[in-house]
Structure formats: structure tokens, C-alpha cells
Amino acid sequence: MSVVSAAPFLRPPCLRSPGPQGRRHTLPASEFRSLSPEDAISVFEIEREAFISVSGECPLHLDEVRHFLTLCPELSLGWFEEGRLVAFIIGSLWDRERLTLDALTLHKPHGTTVHVHVLAVHRTFRQQGKGSILMWRYLQYLRCLPCVRRAVLMCEEFLVPFYQKSGFKAQGPSEITVGPLTFIEMFYPVRGHAFMRRNSGC
């Protein structure tokens, strides 16, 4: 899957120091980019704190984070502030209408649905709207990927309004449960691929 055309969403222009002798090692104040296996520990630390403190369960364990960032890094998006990961999304491809237990661990390279496994924000940066901004950028990025037709996720009921604000629609209860936890499955139709490619720099 080519992501070259999606570069405008992933790598905004870096802010450089004025003058010809600007420091080349200066990190951009804010950067969005795909994650790599080298980011796995930072990802898992944020995820563990965000989810275990609320539900006692992590959507992805460390080995699963590495698994998806190795197989399909182009379906992840990290938000970095001065080189520090502050929020992220990890996704993979799926090839069915609804999620099943296999969707938690598998990446289906020929699928047309992106399964959003997890969105998490570092505790220091919560209540600042970063989760909504990151999801918006991610969904715009998905529009640049010609094979993607829809995005799906499952979440606890109290998170449904958050995802509805991003344009997701509820499909009803998920067949997946984790211990005592139950989930609502939601989907987002990724529309207008040709239009977006012509008009967004994709």
C-alpha cells in the first residue's frame, strides 16, 4: 500500500530557525508521522497508563504493538511534540463487515476496512482536544489510501459520543468481549477518494 501520496497529512513542514546557520538538529515543535517498531515502548507506556487505570485491560500488549507496527506501520499515526510521543493511533486492515475475535491480532493485507485498534493520549496532554484532532487527521489520511473503504472500531459505551463527534456511527453491540467488558462496534465510511486526491494534495 503506497502512502507517498498521503505525505501532506503525515509530515507538515518543519519550522526552522531563522538565518542560514539554523540548527539542523532542531526538532519540529509538532509533527505527525507513521510509527515504527522503535516507537513500540513509548506507545505501550502511554496505552498502559491510559487503559489499565480505567478498565484494567490494554487493547494491545507490547508484543502486539510491535506486531502491527512491523506489519502495517502505514496504518498508524503518532503525534510528536518536540520529539516526544504525546498521542497515537494504531490500525490494521480487516476483510469482513463486522469485527471478530481474529481482528484483534490479525492484519489482512487485502482488506478494505481499517480496524482502529487503539487511540491514546499521554496523561499530560489530555483534556486538550488532541484525541479529536489526531482522529480527524487519521481519517483524512485514510481518504488518501485508495484501497480503504471504511474504518471500524469497538469501544466501551461511554466513549460512543466521542467517536460520534468524529463521524463514526454505531452498528450495535460487538460480538467481542474481554472479561467483563462489552463493546459497541462503530464504523466510519471513507468516501470520495478521487475527489480527495484531486483537492487535498494527496
CA dist 40 and 66 (Å) reads 6
| Active site annotation includes 119 | yes
180-199 pLDDT per residue, tens: 889 999 999 996 444 444 44
Q: Which residue of the set 34, 42, 76, 92 is catalytic?
A: 92
Could you give the domains of the chain? 30-154 (3.40.630.30)
Can you spell out the DSSP letters for 173-191? Answer: EEEEEETTEEEEEEEEE--
Would residue 106 show up in a list of annotated catalytic residues for this protein? yes
Q: In what order do the strands lie in the sheet with 169-178?
A: 30-33, 76-81, 84-94, 113-121, 150-155, 181-189, 169-178
The rounded distance, in Å, linking the Cα atoms of 67 and 14 is 30
Q: pLDDT tens digits, residue range 85-105? A: 999 999 999 999 999 999 999
Q: Is 110 one of the annotated active-site residues of the chain?
A: no
pLDDT digits (tens, 9 = 90+) for 167-185: 999 999 999 998 888 999 9
Could you report the per-residue pLDDT of 34-73, keeping only the tens digit for each? 999 999 999 999 999 988 765 567 789 999 999 999 999 9
Report pTM: 0.81
Catalytic residue among 106, 132, 159, 166: 106
99 is catalytic: no
